[in-house]
Amino acid sequence: MANVIIRPDWVLPEKLVTPEEVYRNRRTFLRTMGVAGAGLIGGSAMGAAKDVAKYYPAKKNPALSSKLAAGDRMTKEEWATGYNNFYEFTTRKEWVKHPHFMGKFVVDPWKVRIDGLCNKPFDGDAYDLIGEMGKQGKLEDRTYRFRCVEAWSMIVPWTGFQLSELIKLVEPKAEAKFVRMTTAVDFKTMPGAAQMKNYTWPYQEGLRMDEAMHPLTIMATGMYGKPLPKQNGAPLRLIVPWKYGYKSIKSIVRIELVAKQPKTFWEIANPKEYPFESNVDPAVPHPRWSQATEQVLGLGHRINTLKYNGFGKEVAALYK
């Protein structure tokens, strides 16, 4: 066992198209993060993918990474970026990166809103946030095993920052007990969503507040030492390493602090198969298949699945 210890826009003043409270709080929010100058708030100084590329690769954090067995190896980048679920585009994992599906999807610029039960809501460009996290040294590389509910997995070096950093900055109110997140949806650029209108788009996911604040929970902005590709959830996605992969929502446009447990996309579709909590547990089978083992991308054999995906020491106390 390797000793990797767990550890075209209208030319209008922005204040005329953004609610006054959000506009004012955005300035306060960015000043709190260390952003100087009002011009930055419009995204002219940062707010673009090319301006944050300099923060990759980030520093490594082995203390908050997965335990890897002696035979484990990092999943090849071409496999991890060429085989994944993103139903908004297609249900075929190996096709999702093809320009036929992703070609019209624009991720720069990218607006994101953080609001709900908080004192300082934010509405701005995701690249402003990513840039400030990079400037402050809060972007880091973490190697996590990603476990899909379909009983396959991959070992990926993600780049990101702790979700708790954002939540603390918007100053959650005491009654905020959950976090609801929403993916972008656009039937003109997302052919899968356009065809499968029986689903409750946009894709939504949620966490309890203590799960969201846990240091293992990150907002991923990159992988393999580079910014996220579109098919993997650019520019901002969630990674919760002890939960099944569908909890790690992609291409986030809104983070909302709420009082009640939110309904999630797959929970609405089939609550018996995809419950809200959805922690990795080899002893609890999916109604249609076992979760006791998993196929690691690139390996010719299956391995045993670990409860909480190997993070039991860190997160088991959350569920007592």
Q: What does the pLDDT look like over 150-192, one tens digit per residue?
A: 999 999 999 999 999 999 999 999 999 999 999 999 999 999 9
* Backbone φ/ψ region at 94: left (φ over 0), alpha (ψ -120 to 50), beta: alpha
Indicate whether 17 pLDDT > 80.
Answer: no
Residue 25's pLDDT band, with cuts at 50, 70 and 90, is: low
CA–CA distance, 113 with 103 (Å, rounded to integer): 25
The mean per-residue pLDDT over the stretch 60-87 comes to 90
Residue 206's DSSP bridge partners are: 180
Q: How high is the pLDDT of residue 68?
A: 77
Residue 280 reports pLDDT greater than 90: yes
pLDDT at residue 20 greater than cutoff 70: no
pLDDT over 80 (residue 101): yes
Mean pLDDT of 278-305: 95
In this predicted structure, what is the pLDDT of residue 29?
56
Kindly state the average pLDDT of the residues 39-56: 64
Beta-carbon count within 10 A of 6 CB: 15
Q: How confident is the model at residue 24 (pLDDT cuts 50, 70, 90)?
A: low
Beta strand 293-296 with 152-162 is: parallel
The confidence band for 70, taking pLDDT boundaries of 50, 70 and 90, is low
Which pTM was predicted?
A: 0.86
Q: Is the pLDDT of residue 61 over 90?
A: yes
pLDDT in tens, 199-257: 999 999 999 999 999 999 999 999 999 999 999 999 999 999 999 999 999 999 999 99
DSSP string, 236-251: -EEE-TTB-GGGS--S
Residue spans per domain, the chain: 14-319
Assigned CATH for 14-319? 3.90.420.10
The answer to whether residues 122 and 114 touch, using CB atoms and an 8 Å cutoff, is: yes
Query: Residue 144 and residue 149: Cα distance in Å, rounded?
Result: 16
Confidence grade of residue 71 (pLDDT, cut at 50, 70, 90): confident
